[in-house]
Amino acid sequence: MTRAHTRSGLQYLVLVWFALVVSGCANLGAIRDFASTSSDAAQYTQLVTIYVATPTRLMRYEPESQRPVLARQASERAAQQEPLLLRQRLIQAYMDGLGQLAADGLTTYDAQLDNLNHALQSAKFADQSEAAALAKVSKQLATAATERWRRDKLMTLIEQSDGPLQVVVGALVTIVQTGFVADLANEREALNKYYTELQLRSRDPAALAALGEWREMREGQIRDRESAIGNYVVVLKTIGSGHHKLYESRRELSHVDVQAQVHQYTIRLRDAVNAIRSFH
């Protein structure tokens, strides 16, 4: 009798454990969290605004003779703003769609992506490979929305989108690591030259103290942007690597080990986003 009760109790515990595992797998919570966190992180538009405004900021430090050059660069940067924001918007929209499918909901098509499709007609928007990748991800989102995909299409979305998404994310990483970082170096050099010359010419202790405070503040702003840019690169790379993990695990997305591994990408994203926001 005691053995029967013991066996019955063990069987009950096994069934409870199995039910919890299946329940945890069925809701794909880790994938929804990863998608939601990725969507929030990808749309960090402040860095684009700062990048676009760099030539205007440099006018503080450069001589009057450089104004025409900087004015031309400011105009060029203004033209780059929408394409950069659209890249971010596409990543955000894709991650929103991924999360909606993981929750067994219907996806929605972001009408702002129509601007992306129009922009892709311009050869200046992106090179051929990136333009093709941007168009393919956008088309996948449109298909998911118009054909009313649900969770049973989650693997299809991941499978068909991972390649082009990696191209899109990788291209944005390159832009940030080259253009954004180069701007920091140029601004740091211009600031250093500007304040050094002023401090060398000044003999007024009060003026020197004020110059020192302004210089320290400006240098601090550059350091903060440098940290934010570095963490945004972490965000983008984590989105790419996290999605590729979903692609590699697409046939076992509900496995508890996969869910746990995806959760680690979400933690990494949150840490990077918190580091960015601490400077703004």
pLDDT digits (tens, 9 = 90+) for 116-144: 877 777 666 788 899 999 999 999 999 99
pLDDT of residue 28: 92
pLDDT of residue 24: 41
Residue 266 included in any domain: yes
The token pair at 84 is 């950069």
Residue 7 included in any domain: no
Which residues, 6 or more positions from 167, have their beta carbon under 8 angstroms from its beta carbon? 129, 130, 132, 133
How many Cα atoms occupy the beta-carbon half-sphere of 31 within 13 Å? 31
pLDDT of residue 113: 84
pLDDT digits (tens, 9 = 90+) for 16-39: 344 444 444 456 999 999 999 999
Residue type, 243: H
Q: Is the pLDDT of residue 12 over 50?
A: no
Selected residue with higher pLDDT from 45 and 53 = 53
User: Taking the C-alpha atoms of 31, 35, 38 and 42 in order, what is their torsion angle to the nearest 10 degrees?
Assistant: 160
The token pair at 177 is 């690591």
pLDDT digits (tens, 9 = 90+) for 159-201: 999 999 999 999 999 999 999 999 999 999 999 999 999 999 9
Residue 89 included in any domain: yes
CA 131 vs CA 87, 144, 187: distances in Å? 11, 20, 31
Selected residue with higher pLDDT from 110 and 209 = 209
Q: How far apart are CA 7 and CA 12, in angstroms?
A: 9
CB 265 within 8 A of CB 241: yes
| Residue 213: closest CA among 225, 226, 199, 227 | 199
Q: Is the pLDDT of residue 203 over 70?
A: yes
In the numeric block, the tokens 């991941």 are attached to 158
Q: What are the backbone angles phi and psi of residue 43, rounded to the nearest 5°?
A: -90, 30
Q: How many domains does the chain have?
A: 1
pLDDT band at 3 (very low <50, low <70, confident <90, very high): low
In the numeric block, the tokens 């490979």 are attached to 129
CB 108 within 8 A of CB 136: no
pLDDT of residue 128: 87
Q: How far apart are CA 32 and CA 34, in angstroms?
A: 5
pLDDT of residue 13: 41
How many Cα atoms occupy the beta-carbon half-sphere of 52 within 13 Å? 16
Residue 240 included in any domain: yes
pLDDT digits (tens, 9 = 90+) for 235-255: 999 999 999 999 999 999 999
Residue 231: which domain range? 28-277
pLDDT of residue 117: 78
pLDDT of residue 126: 81
The CB density around residue 202, as the number of other CB atoms within 10 Å, is: 14
pLDDT of residue 225: 93
Largest CA distance in the chain: 99
Residue 14 included in any domain: no
pLDDT of residue 148: 95
Residue 11 included in any domain: no
CB 9 within 8 A of CB 238: no
pLDDT of residue 15: 45
Q: What is the mean pLDDT of the chain?
A: 88
